[in-house]
Chain A
Amino acid sequence: AQSVTQLDSQVPVFEEAPVELRCNYSSSVSVYLFWYVQYPNQGLQLLLKYLSGSTLVESINGFEAEFNKSQTSFHLRKPSVHISDTAEYFCAVSGEKLVFGKGTKLTVNP
């Protein structure tokens, strides 16, 4: 069975500060890893994904995540956040099916 743990339910940061949203997973099969973002009153949208190859994956809006097999982690990072990054972020693992973590609410304050 697969599972995803997002270690922080809420992360408040100031604008232009760096941020890391943590995600650990467990799976008995090969996995694909995803980060989805949900802006207020919207559906989820894909931020980035790891399927194979380079363990560092990047999104178009400056986020990056690193797949670490030995630590079973896929943490999401951004070196400098903006107010517009305020949203809920979901880590997900896909083996037999897509399983989501409980989400991390990122609040960027001015």
Chain B
Amino acid sequence: DSGVTQTPKHLITATGQRVTLRCSPRSGDLSVYWYQQSLDQGLQFLIQYYNGEERAKGNILERFSAQQFPDLHSELNLSSLELGDSALYFCASSPTGGTPDTQYFGPGTRLTVL
């Protein structure tokens, strides 16, 4: 158990819909990362937050957005969903957000868009 929690574990929805994925980082970790894992693209970095502020952006679509709240939990919002958005979405956390940090991954949310 990494100490990172993600809800829900599974999500099934229809094209065009909007969903919110939630992540609680390990106690004491200030940085949160979001990743998308799919068979064709592999593990893709989406976005990083540090203590409530956006720190780095990866291959995140404009239809996707995220935020980190004062209690440090984070939410990833996915809107106008397409079939190709079906994937595993992982959240990770780290103590400082620096590049040598170990990232601790949650169990993931499996999103299925029908």
Contact = CB atoms under 8 A, between A and B. Distances in A.
Given A43-B107, A45-B2, A45-B105, A97 B99 contact: yes
B43 interface: yes
Contacts of A94: 99-100
A96 B98 CA distance: 9
A97 B42 contact: no
Category for how many chain A residues contact B: 20 to 34
Interface string B23-48: 00000000001000000001101001
B99 A98 contact: yes
A19 interface: no
Contacts of B43: 44, 90, 100, 102-103
Contacts of A97: 45, 48, 56, 58, 99
A46 B107 CA distance: 14
Nearest to B48: A97
A10 B76 CA distance: 32
B91 to A, nearest CB: 9
Interface in B69-98: 90, 92
Contacts of B92: 44
B106 to A, nearest CB: 5
Contacts of B56: 96-97
Contacts of A44: 43, 90, 92, 105
Interface of A: 32, 34, 36, 42-46, 49, 51, 90, 94-103
13 contacts: A32-B99, A34-B102, A42-B107, A43-B4, A43-B105, A44-B90, A46-B103, A90-B43, A96-B56, A97-B45, A100-B45, A102-B42, A103-B42
